[in-house]
Each structure stands twice: as structure tokens, then as C-alpha cells.
A and B are shown apart, each in its own frame.
Chain A
Amino acid sequence: MLDRSSDKLVHMANQIGKFFASQGAETAPVAIAEHLRKFWDPRMRAGILSHLEAGGAGLDPLVRQAVERLRETAAAR
């Protein structure tokens, strides 16, 4: 069960994913991750990462890949 905040973040992330989906399976996750990095504040990004850690329910496949990518970048820093 998602709480209201996570629900909203997942909805917003999936909206972003739907736009970039047309760029193909290889490029889209990179573009989605880049959009999240450039426009979402750290707290929102932490929120979506926490949601991924909790199983990532509701995330579309390309968005899930993007958030995983975000997690890797954050870990690398």
C-alpha cells in the first residue's frame, strides 16, 4: 500500500516516463533519470529511492530502471 506522498511521486515519475518512452528502451531510462536529477529536489529523489527500496510498487518498467540508475549514481557519489 502506498502512502499519499509515495503515490504522488510514483504518479509523477511515471508521467515523466511516458514522455521519454518514445526515445527507446536504451535512451529512455537515462533521460528519465536525468530529468529527475535536474528537476526534483533531493528530498523528492530520496522519496522515490526509498520507494524503490520498499519494492517500487507501481513504477513503470522504464521508470524503475531510471530510479535504479539514480540509486547507482547516488551511491557512486
Chain B
Amino acid sequence: MSLIHEIDHGTPRSRAETMVTLTIDGETMTVPEGTSILRAASEMGTAIPKLCATDMVEAFGSCRLCLVEIEGRAGTPASCTTPVMPGMVVKTQTERLKRLRKGVMELYISDHPLDCLTCAANGDCELQDMAGAVGLRDVRYGHEGHNHPNPGLDESNPYFTYDPSKCIVCSRCVRACEEVQGTFALTIAGRGFGSVVSPGMEESFLGSECVSCGACVQACPTATLTEKSVISIGQPEHSVITTCAYCGVGCTFKAEMRGNEVVRMVPWKDGKANRGHSCVKGRFAWGYASHKERILHPMIRASISDPWREVSWDEAIAYTASEFKRIQAKYGRLAIGGITSSRCTNEETFLVQKLIRGGFGNNNVDTCARVCHSPTGYGLSQTYGTSAGTQDFDSVEQSDVILLIGANPTDAHPVFGSRMKKRLREGAKLIVLDPRRIDLVRMPHVAAAHHLPLKPGTNVAVLTALAHVIVTEGLADEAFVRERCDWDEFQDWAAFVAEPRHSPEAIEAVAGVPAAEIRAAARLYATGGNGAIYYGLGVTEHSQGSTTVMAIANLAMATGNIGRPGVGVNPLRGQNNVQGACDMGSFPHEFSGYRHVSGDETRQLFESLWGVALDSEPGLRIPNMLDAAVDGVFKGLYVQGEDILQSDPDTRHVAAGLAAMECVVVQDLFLNETANYAHVFLPGSTFLEKDGTFTNAERRIQRVRKVMPSKSGKADWEITLDIAHAMGFDMNYAHPSEIMDEIAALTPSFAGVSYAKLEAEGSVQWPCNDKAPLGTPVMHIDGFVRGKGRFMVTEYVATDERTGPRFPLLLTTGRILSQYNVGAQTRRTENVVWHGEDRLEIHPHDAEQRGVLDGQWVKLASRSGETSLRALITERVAPGVVYTTFHHPGTQANVVTTDFSDWATNCPEYKVTAVQVMPSNGPTAWQESYDDHARNSRRIVEAAE
């Protein structure tokens, strides 16, 4: 293994289709029109010296190092800002150019500290490289650099330092922040020698708008902006390409290593999901992997009131199997089940569901997608015939109108959010449907054309009103519908949405959105060119989540916005492998590839390969498992990589369900909240310690590569394998690639996937099979997977969760940029400096009415329960709506959420809870008693040596 050095071609690739031929240093070269001379030379293999140019941002032309001579032109133009022309004859190295470049470098070096031997960038410094490239041997102006400002280091950011004395004012960081990240947090303050990079209004990095994406650090050619890990460890010596384990964007990174220690994670330029960009979580927040709270030894206990006892792997596995067998003997075959994880790989997930179906002998398997995107699976399969988004991420570059519903990509999917912002800065129009004024509604250089701040729970009403406008104003794409959809069903649907009760004027009172805004938004989406819908959990986590997904699918079909780049229906998946966990047959009613367990032909296929009879009846979903546990008939649970106690709604019900079980097995990195109710703890591995694949929100299957040995001694798939063997179920694999081979053999949409293909192609998007050997970036191009697109009538049914005198406010929950879901990983990193606790956002009007002050403790109560947290008074939420995150277990936000759920899938209704808010003195009795239980439950008796 060696360090992967990506070639920096100096300027971005031109997308032009017209080709231009020129001559560089006597060689003929043909490149797309619009390519810079710098890039053309680089692609030819000639590296023209450069400092301010990098291919992650547009050319700037400030350093005067990349000068060239062009036949027939006067002077020595900068090759980064000069595009190629037909017949152009370029010289990159002449006596004049050598002299000029050396002079430029003399000036740079005269103003730069020469502490190279002790500099963190030693060995990775472009200034040093260029001094060598131009043959700099002496500096006539001295080496003091006394003119350059040196106000001292800014070490406020937990992950990188800013050393102004090493800045060459190339503006690469400023441009990366603008062009790549789209935050505009940096500028160059001052003039001449006083020029200096400034975050915000000359604030510290931590105090500025900087979102810590790392683009500036990546762009910096010197040690001005440097990762603290590089400063403390040194330069890496080898690197491995792998996939981030945070959100559903699925960014590809180079894990840059020194031995088994990660030095830094650098976004990989060839990553097709992230295109070389990153966010604060993937780029920096990986320290949890070596956090002191990692559990590295298996543990068991007879009762949850006992302390944990460290045991050998053999004892833990044998105990697990004997308990599960005992429970089945006593309570029946259906009394146990398991939960797969969207944080784990496809291969691990596939094995868990195989263990449950084949080894437990039932279909009681579910996954955390139950509580996020299960309505996406149901809704899109009903309308289009497949349970996934229709586009790749590149598609957004061709969108003209973006309809964003119940999603907050700049916080929850930041790298895709940056790509979306870039397209919006280029002129695409944005419509936001969200109760909150999310950042994208108005931020630097981005403003939504329409923000529809609808009342939580009224998605279906507003979407049907949009459809009403499209149909009644004749904006539907009839030709598309006639060709691609069932015409009779369309007519039924059109008649339904055209009813006056669905008009914007009728819906205004229901949803609280002005009718004129609904009409304008509908017209823009239907007539503004390529219309793309992106949505998140603000769509799915409702009692009408599945209906909303179908209403979205209807809109895209009615306007012909499906089946080509730039359009489509795009669910933004929360976790890294939500798509994959669903694809792998984690739902209790279907095998991998979304085929129902009652299908004899499919079931026989699995039975024949697995050598065991399989149940033809659907199993229990997570909430059903908990209900059955409370009823006393469900007694054992194997949970891999999920923390249902913190993440699932109605915490007290979850706790009661878990407490009623006789054997709860948790396989995870840390003693999470669910483990407080567990009898067996099996230590899992981080993504850095495993081989496998993740499938992101665009159906892209990407390799996860092991960069260090498992700290616990076993990979997660090996643990599942051991349990299977101990349960008497035979399955054998030597490597995760063999599991993928079995997935491919059993799953038509994965038939063409193998590790060899992933090595060759980098990644593929399913369906990947004989019809599409290299995968499918955009779906439904020639027709829908189900044949004709199916319009579904979407009657609005108000949720049963209603506000009233006792609970007059509506609570909705969500995520924040620096933290990730239940926070198990990010809470164990420096990201806590940005978000150390969950706060309750409340509108100033509601706060004043209740006498609530900013930062004050408040009690948040619903019919399910009550908790306390501190208030954040803000106009981001509308009057009558409050909002919080659920990243911190101490907050117990889900004590308040209810057991109402989506009608089709039981996805919980996290987004609508009727609540009351009142000043409080601190934590509630439940929080205090839970905290006592948690501390008591985490006692560990170490194994005797």
C-alpha cells in the first residue's frame, strides 16, 4: 500500500462536447472547448508550476506562476485563465518563463517562514514543491518575512489550525468555501502585505459562519490551514479508499494512515457521490472509533439490574444461542426476532436477516428504516414499482426547479446540500415546503422562490392542492401521461384533485399557507423546466407518510418530470446504508430485492440455497415486536447497530417492551441506551475496521474497506455467523465478498454486482444486471419498473394527534449539522463544541406568552410523557410550532413523541406531537430515574486475568 496521490489538473474539467486541438511543447493535444491551457498540459502529463490554481475551484489567475508563451500572442499569459483555442501553439518552458517564475517564487519565499523541517506540511507543501520546480536557489530579498502579518495561530476550531504567517493569499480557501461548500464564510481582509484570510467579520474560525466542511483545509497549498491530527501525528504514509459511515450521501474518502492510525480522512475526488467534497462529520468526526468508551470485550448478565460480566467470545455466543433456544422452546418459534442496522454493511445486514429467517425460523426481522423511510419503500413501489429514488446526485446539475419537501439538506445531507446550492446559484429555482424556515429558504446567494411553511401534518393537503392547480390550469403533461401511465387511473386521480375542496383557497385554512403561494409554486414546478423533487423525513414520519410519498410520485408523473436527468423523485436517506438495509430484505414481509415472503417461487429459491424451510407469513415490525413484548409473547431480540430506546418513539413504551424480554442481545460499539435493557453485549466494529459495501440514497453500491484490524477481534459478520452456528444453522463464508456473491445470486437487481466489478468501476447503481451491466444512474427512462405508472388517489386525513387546550403547540423533531441521529458517534467527538445539548426552538410569541426566557429550562409535555430541556427562542419556527433534535440521550425527546404511525408501514409520526411548554427547574422525575437506571446498568465487572 502507498499514499494515493491524486493529480490536481489546476482547473475544473470542461463539460463541452466540442473538441479543440492545439499544440503544447510540440505535442498535439485534443481537449474539450473551455479547457484551460494549464489543464490541457496537465492531462498531457506536463505539470506547469502553479500555486493559486486547483481543480476544485475555477481559475483565479493571481499567483503568476503558471505563465506560458503562446505563438502569435504578446506577453506571458496565465495558463489557468487562458482557454485553449484551435491551432494554438503553446510553450510551457522557455528561458523567459523560467526567469519570470523564479522571480515570482523569490517574492513568495521572501515573505514565508522557512521553518520547513518542523512545519506540519513538510512533505506535503505546494510552495515547497514549486520552489523545487522552478529551481529556486537563492532569494535576493532575504528570508525574514517580516512584512507578513502574524497575529498568531487561530486554534479555535477543534479540527484544524489557521496560521496566518504561512498564508500566501492564493484565495484557494476563500474560493473553496464559496464555490464548493457555498457558505461564503471566508474573505481576504486588508490590502497588500496586510492581506489576510478572515473568517466572517475578522472572527475566529469557531465563532464565524464556518461549517467546518474542510474544503478550505483541502484547498490550502501550505500549512496555513492544517488538520490538527497531521500536526500531532505527522504526514500519512499510505491511504485506503473507503466510504463514509454517516449520512445517506455516501461520500468516498481516502483514509490516510500511518500504520494502523488514521491521520486524516480526505474526500476522494473520484467519489461519484461527493465529487471530492465532505462535511464536518465525515471529514473530521471519526475519533469515536478510538474513544475510551468503546466496549471491546463481550459481556453477559442474567438480569438488567446486575453489573455486566466480561466473558470470552465463546461464552457470549453460547449463552446467546442457549437463551434464544430456551425462549423458543418455552414460548414458541415466533417469540424471538432481530433488528438489522442501516449503519452496517449490506453483507452484515443480509446475514442478520438470513439468521432470523433461516436460523430463528420466522420473519421477525426489521430495520431502522422502519422509523424513517419505510413509507418511501411502500409509496414508490405502489406508484412506480420500485422502492428507491429515481436519480443519481449528478442529476441536480441539470435541474431547473427544485421542490424540497420536509428535508434540510444543508444540515442532514450537507455534501449534497452544497451541490444543490451550487445549482441554485447557477439560477435554478427553489420551492421549500417545510414548517421551519430552514437555511435554504434564505442564505448567502440562495433564496427560495417560494417557502410554504405548512402546518405540521398537512403535507397531503398541500401536495394535493399543488396537483389541483396543475390539473385545473391545464399544466399536466398529457403526452407523457398517455404514453407512460395508466390513463384511466390518471383520469380518476385528475377528477379527484380537481374537486374544489382541494383548491389552494380551500386548503389555505387547513395548512396555513397562502393560496396564492401554493398556486405560484405549482405553476413554477410544472412549467419551469426540469422539475426535481427532493424529500426527507418531514414527508415520511407522519401518519400519512406513505400517502405523501404517493402524492409526490403523482406530481412527478403528471408533469412528466420522471425518466431523464434533472428531474425525478429523490428521497434523501438519513443513514449511510438505509437504502442497502432495505434492499437486503430487512423488512419482515419481504426478501432481498423487495419480494414478498408469500411468493412461492422466490421463497423456494432461498430455501434451496439456504437448505432450510422458510416461513411464508410476514413477521413483526419493530413497533409490533415491542407491543408483543408488552403483551408477554415476544421474549428475545438480537439488535445489531441500532439504539431503539433513544431513537424510537414513546420511550416509556420501548423501555417497557425491552424490560419485558428475557434475552436482549445488543451488538454495538458502545453501551448505548438499548444496552441498558440488554443481557448480552457483543462488541461491534467501526466502518474503519471492516470490509463490505454501503448503498447510498442514489442506489450507489460502494466499497467499505478495512483500514485497521477490528479492535474487538471479530468482524460484525463473523459474530452473526457464530450465532448462526451455535443455533444450529449452517452458513459459511471466508470473506464478505462471498456474501455479496450470494446476494447477487438471489437478488435480480444485484445480479451483476461483485467485488471485482466494484474494484473495476469504483461503484455501481442498482439495478445492475444483464440488462444494465454497469448499473442504472437514472431509473424509469423507457418505462416504469411496474409497467405503467400508477396514479393513486391521496385523500387527506388529518392526524389523530390534535392540539387542544392541554397541548396547544405542535412539536416537530429533526437533526443538526454537527450531530448524527442518536449521537452515539458524534457525541464522542469534538463536534460537541457546536451542539452540546438538544434545545427546544420556540417562537418569541409563544415564549413570551409562557414566560419562557432564552436558555431557560422548560418542561415539554405531551400525552405520552414529559421531559425537560433548555429553550432557544427563534423565529425559525412559526408561532404554534416548537422543534427539537434528539441527539442527546439525556434530553429524552422521544419520551414525548407518541405511538401514532404511518397507516401503511407503522413508521412513527415523529413530526407531529401536540405539546405544552412551561418554565421548569430542571430534569423531570423520569429523566432522573432513567439516569439512575442507566448509570446502574453500565457497571462492568472485568474478567479475571
Closest to B496 in A: A22
Please give, as numbers and ranges, the residues of chain B lying within 8 Å of A18 by CB-CB distance: 795, 797, 903
Please give, as numbers and ranges, the residues of chain B lying within 8 Å of A35 by CB-CB distance: 904
Q: B206: shortest Cβ distance to chain A, in Å?
A: 47
Closest to A3 in B: B631
Please give, as numbers and ranges, the residues of chain B lying within 8 Å of A22 by CB-CB distance: 496, 793, 795
| Contact, CB under 8 Å: A38 / B598 | yes
Tell me if B618 is interfacial: C-beta within 8 Å of chain A. Answer: yes
Please give, as numbers and ranges, the residues of chain A lying within 8 Å of B589 by CB-CB distance: 38-39
How many contacting A-B pairs (Cβ < 8 A)? Answer: 56
Tell me if A12 is interfacial: C-beta within 8 Å of chain B. Answer: yes
Interface residue total, chain B, C-beta cutoff 8 A? 31
Please give, as numbers and ranges, the residues of chain A lying within 8 Å of B736 by CB-CB distance: none
Tell me if A15 is interfacial: C-beta within 8 Å of chain B. Answer: yes
Tell me if B100 is interfacial: C-beta within 8 Å of chain A. Answer: no
| Contact, CB under 8 Å: A42 / B617 | yes
Tell me if A41 is interfacial: C-beta within 8 Å of chain B. Answer: yes
Please give, as numbers and ranges, the residues of chain B lying within 8 Å of A43 by CB-CB distance: 334, 620, 628, 633
* Chain B 630-658 residues near chain A, CB threshold 8 A: 631, 633
| Contact, CB under 8 Å: B618 / A38 | yes
Tell me if A52 is interfacial: C-beta within 8 Å of chain B. Answer: no
Interface residues on A, range: 10 to 19
Please give, as numbers and ranges, the residues of chain A lying within 8 Å of B546 by CB-CB distance: 19
**How would residues 525 to 549 of chain B score, 1 for a CB under 8 Å from any chain A CB and 0 otherwise?**
0000000000000000001001100
Q: State in angstroms the CA–CA spacing of A33 and B496 once bound together.
A: 24
**How would residues 369 to 381 of chain B score, 1 for a CB under 8 Å from any chain A CB and 0 otherwise?**
0000000000000
| Contact, CB under 8 Å: B618 / A16 | no
Please give, as numbers and ranges, the residues of chain B lying within 8 Å of A42 by CB-CB distance: 334, 617
Q: A47: shortest Cβ distance to chain B, in Å?
A: 9
Q: State in angstroms the CA–CA spacing of A44 and B598 once bound together.
A: 17
Please give, as numbers and ranges, the residues of chain B lying within 8 Å of A12 by CB-CB distance: 901, 903, 906
| Contact, CB under 8 Å: A23 / B543 | no
Tell me if A5 is interfacial: C-beta within 8 Å of chain B. Answer: yes
Please give, as numbers and ranges, the residues of chain B lying within 8 Å of A44 by CB-CB distance: 620, 624
Q: B463: shortest Cβ distance to chain A, in Å?
A: 15
Tell me if B571 is interfacial: C-beta within 8 Å of chain A. Answer: no
Q: A18-B903, A19-B547 are in contact. Are A39 and B618 (CB under 8 A)?
A: yes
Q: State in angstroms the CA–CA spacing of A15 and B797 once bound together.
A: 9
Q: State in angstroms the CA–CA spacing of A39 and B795 once bound together.
A: 21
Q: A51: shortest Cβ distance to chain B, in Å?
A: 14
Closest to B590 in A: A38
Chain B contacts to A: CB under 8 angstroms: 334, 363-364, 496, 543, 546-547, 588-589, 596, 598, 617-621, 624, 627-628, 631, 633, 793, 795, 797, 800, 899, 901, 903-906
Beyond the given pairs A19-B903, A41-B364, A41-B617, 15 more chain A to chain B contacts, judged by CB atoms under 8 angstroms and listed by A's residue number, are A12-B903, A12-B906, A15-B543, A16-B903, A18-B797, A19-B547, A19-B904, A21-B795, A22-B496, A22-B793, A38-B589, A39-B618, A43-B334, A43-B620, A44-B620
Chain A contacts to B: CB under 8 angstroms: 5, 8, 11-12, 15-16, 18-19, 21-23, 35, 38-44
Q: What are 13 sample pairs from A and B whose C-beta atoms fall under 8 A apart?
A: A8-B627, A15-B903, A18-B903, A19-B547, A38-B596, A39-B904, A41-B364, A41-B588, A41-B617, A42-B617, A43-B633, A44-B620, A44-B624
